Amino acid sequence: MELITSKNNSAVVSAAKLSDKKYRERTGTFAFEGIKLFREAKKAGADFKQIFITQEAYEKYRSDFEGIDEKLLVLVSDAVYEKLSFENAPQGVFCVCEYYKPKTAGEASFVVLLDGVADPGNFGAVLRSADAFGVDVIYAGSGSADLYNPKTVRACMGSIFRMDVRRAEDLANEVLRLREEGFRIYATALDARSEDIRNVDFTGKVGFVIGNEGHGVSKAVLEACTGSVIIPMSEGPESLNAAVASGVVMWEAARVRLQ
């Protein structure tokens, strides 16, 4: 492999632009870093467009690149890699892939809907929990973070290559559509009328909505839901972080569904 030492190399310049959402959407590609995410992507059969690696990383992880077309491997200097990297501590492996769409195995029966979860870190953490607790589909409503934001991809720790994530610009209508298909959809809401999650039947076709970090579930979505649930807490904290709350509800739902 020829070593690229110029930060103005066309491939390097193009890859560096993938931090921009509009550029990702225009090209249908996204980028991520690190050998762990590379392994997850390779295992899932992701369509790599380019893999930029430093000499040190290539020597260290050479066996991981077996089976990858050598034309996709691009050796770059440390200085060039720094131009590409999103991370404070660059890992030496920077991958460019086509947008990835995992397929849902069979009919979905456990779904999560995100009503404006705007923080990429929270979005990624929700994906990671959903992957762990057997969620079939995630619907990301208007105002939710971009699935391919580098922070989302990093936070989900590879779950992007396993989870079926769908955009739903009109989340209230999506809730109504799911209910017509036999789903019971519950909003997580700090409301006196909300039911304790420990008393909810999470068997069968079920889903729940996680609201925006600052404003919670919107009125239109709340009214479209079957009901609302609340996580019992001590009197100290006012609420839980969106990612934490979703993890608690998913765990409880998974516990009930596995019985």
Residue 117 and residue 94 share a domain: no
Tokens 């619907």 identify what position? 139
pLDDT of 214: 82
Domain for residue 29, yes or no?
yes
Residue 218 and residue 167 share a domain: yes
Last residue of one domain, picked from the residues 98, 121, 148: 98
pLDDT at 64: 96
What CATH number does residue 28 fall under? 3.30.1330.30
| One domain, residues 62 and 125 | no
Q: Same domain, yes or no, for 233 and 123?
A: yes
143-193 confidence digits (pLDDT tens): 999 999 999 999 998 899 999 999 999 999 999 999 999 999 999 987 777
Same domain membership, residue 146 and residue 65: no
Domain hosting 157: range is 110-258
Q: How many domains does the chain have?
A: 2
**Residue-level pLDDT at 2:** 80
| In-domain check, residue 104 | no
Residue pair 245/194 in contact (Cβ under 8 Å)? The answer is no
Q: Are residues 149 and 207 in the same domain?
A: yes
Choosing from 98, 121, 136, the residue where a domain stops is: 98
Cα 113 from Cα 44, distance rounded (Å) = 24
* Statement to judge: residues 228 and 159 lie in one domain: yes
pLDDT at 106 over 80: no
Are 117 and 158 found together in one domain? yes
Q: Model pTM?
A: 0.89
Rg (CA), the chain: 20
DSSP state of 212: B
Judge if 32 and 89 occupy the same domain. yes
* Look-up of token digits 């609302």: 228
Q: Is the domain of 131 the same as that of 85? A: no
Domain-embedded: residue 87 = yes
